Amino acid sequence: MEDTRFSKLLLFVNALVPLTLLLWDVYHKRVGANPLEFVTRTTGMLTLIFLLLALAVTPLRQITGLNWLIKFRRMLGLFAFFYGFLHLMTYISFDRYFNLKSVPGDVVSRPFIAVGMLAFFFMAPLAVTSTNKMIKRLGGKRWNRLHKLIYVAGIAGALHFWLLVKSDTRLPLTFAFVLLLLLGHRLFVMFYPPVKPLRGATLLPRE
């Protein structure tokens, strides 16, 4: 798949569908008795979903050999940051009423907020350096090292979700399990890289 412009447009439109549905439900007051909790949970889950999708691109590309999948990773990562930003702004606007002075005390008293903040701030430099210009400025190796922070952000995000949930932890544990699989695949490839055949080498027939 050489030209991915249409596929990227399709991904962009579909990535905005959850936000459209969320705004529709808020407008029609279909968000339950606690609208703040509904919007906060929804934007938080969307952040984790897009984060995991971005992390899944490389393993899928390596397993399937579909190298064009890599062209969608940047957009998925940016949408993870976008929904993470909405998640943070929901807290600051509707929970703190833009009273930024009250945030530090709230972070200290509620550790899950501190972990969530940490996850977002790990994602911020990844979003800022996602452009081709920044890749050239940093250099490929430094850029790749920096963008490994996405795993740290994912771990912090899953922990934030787990700390937030008081009783039924099945969903945050599911996110954590998927993240563990993706991280495990990366570590496996790191320590056991696939052997590339030498150029011009021929395979001997089996006897």
pLDDT per residue as tens digits for the range 145-158: 888 889 999 999 99
Which residue in the block uniquely carries the two structure tokens 């606007």? 93
SS3 label, residue 30: coil
Backbone φ and ψ of 8, nearest 5°: -65, -40
Of 152, 170, 134, 175, the C-alpha closest to 48 is 175
105 lies in which domain range? 5-183
More confident residue, 198 or 111: 111
Mean residue pLDDT of the chain comes to 87
The number of folded domains in the chain is: 1
More confident residue, 29 or 43: 43
Residue 170 placed within a domain: yes
d(CA 112, CA 144): 29
Of 53, 58, 54, the C-alpha closest to 68 is 58
d(CA 6, CA 207): 48
Residue 113 placed within a domain: yes
Residue 199 placed within a domain: no
Beta carbons within 8 Å of 87's beta carbon, 6+ residues apart? 40, 43, 44, 46, 47, 116, 120
More confident residue, 184 or 207: 184
Residue 205 placed within a domain: no
Residue 192 placed within a domain: no
Average pLDDT over residues 14-39: 91
Predicted confidence at residue 153, as pLDDT, reads 93
Listed as own residue / partner, the contacts of 60-66 with beta carbons closer than 8 Å and 24 or more positions apart are: 62/189, 62/194, 66/1
Residue 207 placed within a domain: no
Distance of CA 46 to the CA centre of its chain: 9
pLDDT band of 3, cuts 50, 70, 90: low
Residue 110 placed within a domain: yes
Residue 198 placed within a domain: no
pLDDT band of 207, cuts 50, 70, 90: very low
What pLDDT, in 10s, does the model give residues 77-91? 999 999 999 999 998
pLDDT beyond 80 at 199 = no
Average pLDDT over residues 5-21: 93
Predicted confidence at residue 206, as pLDDT, reads 44
Predicted confidence at residue 195, as pLDDT, reads 61
Average pLDDT over residues 169-179: 92
54, 83 Cβ separation under 8 angstroms:
no
Q: What share of the chain is helix, strand, coil (3-state, %, to 5)?
A: 80, 0, 20
Predicted confidence at residue 25, as pLDDT, reads 92
Distance of CA 82 to the CA centre of its chain: 10
